[in-house]
Amino acid sequence: MSPKLITGRGRVAAAAAIAVGLLTPYAAQADLNIVGSTHGQNYQGVANPVAGQAAASIPLSLCDAGGPMPERYQNQGNITDLTDANILIPAGNIVVWRCTVGGVPNFAFRYTGGFSAKGYGNIKAPYVLPPGTPNAAALFTTIVPGGTGCTAATGGNPKTDPGTGRQYNSFQSCSQKELVQADFATSDTKGTAFTNTMCDPQTVPSCASPISDTGIVSFPITATPFAMIVGNGVQKCDPVTQAAAGKITLTRLQVEAIFSGQVSSWNQLGYCVYPVQALSPPDGALGAGAGDMSPIGTPFNGSIDQSIVTCSRPVTAGTRIAFDATMMKDAAEVSYGTYTFPFNTDINYLAPTVADGLACVQGRAAAPTTPANNNAITYNRADESASPLVFGTGNVGRMRGGYPVPVDGALPSNYLAPAVLANPTSAERAVSQKEFRCGRYPFWSDWVGIQRTSGPANPNQALWNQYVAAIGTLLPKTTTGYFWARNVRQPGQPVNTEMSVTKGETKGPINFEPGDHPACR
């Protein structure tokens, strides 16, 4: 979906919302409103931290010390986006922090994650200084802190943020929505990575369009690796007996062949699909049919479907754009697929959200319910593809019904948990991230910040600069810091990077940083 369409579709809903009073004027410097990809949720802390959990809140780190207890609010699941009724926002995709900042009480840090293209569309719209009426195209959906549905998080308050050590009161299940003007945005990829060869049947118009940095500037904040994931039914097969022979590997060219439709069966690649066995330990959150890999030596069963089920994302999603730009270099991804649940009547799917992409492989018991596709392949962030059995409840890792696959012989992480989950050492992170930091693993992109360069200056520009810098500082203690690397390159601010390589464009090529890189040996 192009930015024009995003902002255009939002105009009618936004204008109506203003008319009925969903949006009220607010004083200058009373809030910092950020919209963009789901990746940014990882810097919002968590509703209910558990012992040993990796989590850190950037907004909390910027709240005044000694003021009233900061408050964290998040949305209930499956609330409808006010700018697009087709979008159901998962629980926790909207987070609002409220505290005292710079002596200003009840300051609100808002973050709504979902689609990179929508973030670009909001920031492309002209900025209106508060308390003026915002441009409708700049509006995005958030929740009202303390509004309808907000209840104290499990276990009571206050909570303690593991990364900052600061306390806060936490509230969940907020359902009252409002529209606010975007101050800044984020994206899984640079806007130039969107191209008209990236298409799907759900979006109107059906193909993406490049987004230039006209009137805005986008800049790296973190380097984010992604992973290819296959269902637990997919294994190597013994060339003689056809018995199961363990986890598979793929080349970039094979991935390209799968998602362009040139290859439709795992057998064409020399792999097979086997029955899965009962999950151990059980996991009631997964869909019907999900299971662990069968042991090596399991006999081949010709009655099991050997076809490849592809689980992609719509072209409004930055993850899809990063995938197409880095992995689909010589062929276009198939431009058709089922968008609605359940994922069990087709072989090509477009998962609306990050969580839905995982559910397309391992299924989901909660609404919207969908069964597992043990012969499926998808792509997602490296941290999402980790196993919760390794990284623990409440930490990164939501993939039980599948596993990450090496691409061209490399993985985005070693997937070995650090000694202290809540605070991995620099050395542990460097070893885990070595393949993509050193340019040996292709599937990664810069998670970028986006700010306007035209129109009136945003009164919270300095606070946004602090926000971005704090991500670089606190990244190792966040939920995804073990998997992501610092790469802060905000214009006019100090560079803070852990990467040995950089990318000018998401698709590459990579450029090596000057000097020797002993960590890459």
Q: How far apart are CA 10 and CA 130, in angstroms?
A: 20
Burial 25-55 (b: 16+ CB within 10 A, else e): eeeebbbbbbbbbbbbbbbbbbbebeeebbb
Half-sphere exposure at residue 132, Cβ-oriented, CA atoms within 13 angstroms = 9
Burial 428-439 (b: 16+ CB within 10 A, else e): bbbebbbbbbbb
Predicted confidence (pLDDT) per residue in 483-498, tens digit: 999 999 999 999 999 9
Predicted confidence (pLDDT) per residue in 23-54, tens digit: 333 333 479 999 999 889 999 999 999 888 88
State yes or no: pLDDT of 11 exceeds 70: no
Q: What is the pLDDT of residue 9?
A: 24
State yes or no: pLDDT of 201 exceeds 80: no
Closest CA to 125 of 180, 203, 59, 206: 180
Residue 512 · residue 497 · CB < 8 Å: no
Predicted confidence (pLDDT) per residue in 309-341, tens digit: 999 998 888 899 999 999 999 999 998 888 888
pLDDT bin (cut points 50, 70, 90) of residue 3 is: very low
State yes or no: pLDDT of 211 exceeds 70: yes
Closest CA to 435 of 361, 348, 311, 521: 521
Closest CA to 375 of 260, 289, 246, 262: 289
Cα-flanking dihedrals φ and ψ of residue 117, to 5°? -65, -35
Q: What is the pLDDT of residue 12?
A: 26
Report percent pLDDT > 70 for the chain. Answer: 94
Q: Which of 231-240, 373-382, 388-397, 494-503 has the lowest mean pLDDT?
A: 388-397
Q: What is the pLDDT of residue 394?
A: 63
Predicted confidence (pLDDT) per residue in 133-175, tens digit: 999 999 999 999 999 999 999 999 999 999 999 999 999 999 9
What is the CATH number assigned to the segment(s) 225-341+351-438?
Answer: 3.40.190.10
Report percent pLDDT > 90 for the chain. Answer: 79
The residue extents of the domains of the chain are: 31-187+456-475, 225-341+351-438
